[in-house]
Amino acid sequence: MIRCLTFLICFLPAFIWALDETLPVEAPESAPEADDPEKLSEMIDTLNQASLQEAFRLLTSDYINGEELDSLEVNRSALQGMLSRLDFGAMLLTEKAVQESNSRFVFHAEKINRSTAYLRFGRYNKSGLKEMDAALKTFIAEKAITDLIVDLRSPQAQAEFAIASEILSRFRPPNELLFKIRRPGADRPTLFVSKSSGPNWSRNLILLVDRETGNVGEIIAAVLKRKSAPLIIGETTPGLTVEYRDVPIGEDRIMRYAIAEVVLDDDSSIFRKGIEPDIETPTPKESKHAIFDATQKDRSLTDFLYQKQRPRMNEAALVAGIDPEIDYYILRTNGKPTPWDKPPLQDRALQQAVDLLNANSFLESGRKTRR
């Protein structure tokens, strides 16, 4: 008997563990469908008008805090839900947000290196168009400049379609259908055709886009992607290719909603779809804004492309009998800031573009040498 008890005491835990392993394990309860926005949207979409009205009646009459669901609260909820479902089709803004949306974005153009130039729009308007023409004339005059990086990462919700067409005319041949504007109730769309005015860039082109690219920038990128197939670097754009109307609806409140849609020459639309880059290279928005602000103060983009390393002791310094690190250590010892305390700002999308062009130039020079 004692041997039997000893046997059971020794092997019973292992037996229970093995038995437990063979028993089916209940899966944890899944989250309610109401917690999943996609499932909730699908469920609501299957309800007809009568079912929706019944849902409102039940909530306003039988809900435990039904007295809070007065007509004002129901209308607020309905507007919030409608704006959420329309996504970029409509939005509620403040006057301050509308006025400040483009404060840091100004035109900038410069030559980055011997063969590469850079151009960034601030506001897509007539003033920006004149600045672009002046920069393009300078770049075209220099035969050594073979590549142009066009930065379209500036927001602008209120599109000037005529300006978009003028900008595109600088990169496309004349008399070419660029895009169309479709308006509800209109029999025919408005057509925008390229013109033979201003300088025309026909050399290599790279576009930079991201989540802040405005609707004019998206129109330019969409048309050029279809017709010129330039390399596009950055992030997927939001898909704002519509014409918006701003209407005040209360104190410091503006309702912005789409009243017309931009489509390409083949009637395809990118509204709420956006443009996917060829090379996904996200740049933190804070870094991009800081660099844009710095270039307004006459700083060159090369300061952020070619970073200076902290001087260090090496063989050349030993031979020369100098210590290149002495200044750094003196500042650190005295508790003073040094130029290397903070990590350098980086525009990853722009750096990616420049690195690719430099690599391509190196490979091309190698091919010519072998020939």
Q: Are residues 208 and 313 in the same domain?
A: no
Range of the domain at 320: 300-370
As a whole number of Å, the CA-based R_g of the chain is: 30
Q: Quick one: tokens of 117?
A: 């130039």
64 in a structural domain: no
- pLDDT at position 3, please? 42
- pLDDT at position 86, please? 86
The pTM score is 0.78
- pLDDT at position 11, please? 41
Task: Quickly count: other Cβ atoms within 10 Å of residue 245's Cβ.
Answer: 13
Q: Are residues 245 and 311 in the same domain?
A: no
Q: Are residues 214 and 358 in the same domain?
A: no
41 in a structural domain: no
Q: Are residues 130 and 276 in the same domain?
A: yes
Task: Quickly count: other Cβ atoms within 10 Å of residue 89's Cβ.
Answer: 18
Q: Are residues 142 and 165 in the same domain?
A: yes
Q: Is 275 exposed, middle or buried (0-12, 13-18, 19+ CB in 10 A)?
A: buried
Q: Are residues 221 and 359 in the same domain?
A: no
54 in a structural domain: no
- pLDDT at position 33, please? 56
77 in a structural domain: no
Q: What is the pLDDT along the chain (371 residues), one digit of tens a residue?
A: 434 433 333 444 443 344 444 444 444 455 455 567 778 888 888 999 999 889 888 888 888 887 888 888 888 888 888 888 888 788 888 887 776 655 568 899 999 999 999 999 988 989 999 999 999 999 999 999 999 999 999 987 677 899 999 999 999 999 999 999 999 988 899 999 999 988 999 999 999 999 999 989 999 999 999 999 999 999 999 998 998 888 999 888 999 999 999 999 999 999 989 999 999 999 999 999 999 999 888 789 988 887 777 777 788 778 888 877 788 778 888 888 887 777 788 899 999 999 999 998 878 776 666 66
Strands of the chain, DSSP E? 90-93, 108-113, 116-120, 147-151, 177-182, 190-193, 204-209, 231-234, 242-250, 253-264, 279-280
List Cβ neighbours of 210 (8 Å cut-off, separation of 6 or more): 153, 234, 235, 237, 282, 283, 285, 288, 349
Q: Are residues 142 and 270 in the same domain?
A: yes
Number of domains in the chain: 2
89 in a structural domain: no
- pLDDT at position 116, please? 97
**Last residue within a domain, chosen from 285, 319, 344:** 285
- pLDDT at position 164, please? 94
**Last residue within a domain, chosen from 259, 285, 311:** 285
Q: Are residues 263 and 340 in the same domain?
A: no
- pLDDT at position 340, please? 72
CATH of the domain at 216: 3.90.226.10
**Last residue within a domain, chosen from 220, 254, 285:** 285
295 in a structural domain: no
7 in a structural domain: no
Q: Quick one: tokens of 12?
A: 């019973």
Q: Are residues 211 and 306 in the same domain?
A: no
- pLDDT at position 303, please? 87
Q: Are residues 209 and 314 in the same domain?
A: no
Q: Are residues 203 and 164 in the same domain?
A: yes
334 in a structural domain: yes
- pLDDT at position 150, please? 98
CB of 272 closer than 8 Å to CB of 261:
no
Q: Are residues 215 and 326 in the same domain?
A: no
